[in-house]
């Protein structure tokens, strides 16, 4: 899966930074365009944000189980310039507190299906996210527990008054690679801590984001 994800992005970007959780060696050693960092998985999915420091420009945070379209970067950069932090996956809740981050009713926007609207969301999918580090970045110590990158990113953006925008797109624009071991599957029935974090951060927000902010 990682090979396919890299192949889909390789010609579009200046450098690919890889957080190689659990690897013993960098399988792309020798390719000057691919920078591999061997990690111990203590950050989980937040490892993709380890490379913000020193980066001055557009930063695309990606996952290894997604195939990105050939025009992904070209399509997304104008939206970064217009809106700031953008994503192709997200969710918003009508009110807080919620009983479960993963199971409570929410408006959900999926990268693998058609989504006709560009609108603000409370939580953006960090595997299909992009932003300009000259205007916004999330310090790595803001990710306080592993495999909660979407939540910690949203909390940090909320604290800084930065909006996250979900971008309209057609079905099949981004392609999911099937995996039997996803963070979603692992957390779906066991998200008490995640729910506590989002409730504490978002409790003061009472109005539905999806009715107030559309373009």
Domain with 6 in it: what CATH number?
A: 3.90.550.10
pTM of the model: 0.91
Q: Is the peptide bond before 97 cis (omega within 30 degrees of 0)?
A: yes
Asked if residue 194 lies in contact with residue 187, where contact means CB atoms within 8 angstroms, the answer is yes
Residue-wise pLDDT tens digits, 32-46: 999 999 999 999 999
Domains: count for the chain: 1
pLDDT at res. 185:
56
Structural domain boundaries, residue 78: 2-212
Tokens of 66: 């997604």
pLDDT at res. 55:
87
Low pLDDT (below 70) residues in the chain = 180-189, 205-215
């Amino acid at each position: 899966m990682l090979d396919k994800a890299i192949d889909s992005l390789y010609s579009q970007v200046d450098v690919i930074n890889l957080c190689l959780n659990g690897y013993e060696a960098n399988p792309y050693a020798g390719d000057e365009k691919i920078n591999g960092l061997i990690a111990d998985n203590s950050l989980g999915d937040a490892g993709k944000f380890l490379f913000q420091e020193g980066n001055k420009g557009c930063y695309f945070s990606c996952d290894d189980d997604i195939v990105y379209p050939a025009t992904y970067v070209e399509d997304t950069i104008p939206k970064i310039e217009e809106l700031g932090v953008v994503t192709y996956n997200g969710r918003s809740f009508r009110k807080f507190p919620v009983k479960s981050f993963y199971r409570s009713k929410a408006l959900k926007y999926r990268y693998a299906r058609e989504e006709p609207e560009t609108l603000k969301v409370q939580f953006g999918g960090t595997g299909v996210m992009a932003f300009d580090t000259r205007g916004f970045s999330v310090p790595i110590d803001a990710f306080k527990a592993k495999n909660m990158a979407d939540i910690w990113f949203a909390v940090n953006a909320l604290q800084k008054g930065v909006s996250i925008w979900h971008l309209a797109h057609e079905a099949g624009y981004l392609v999911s690679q099937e995996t039997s071991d996803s963070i979603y599957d692992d957390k779906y029935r066991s998200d008490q801590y995640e729910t506590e974090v989002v409730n504490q951060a978002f409790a003061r927000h009472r109005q539905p984001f999806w009715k107030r902010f559309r373009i």
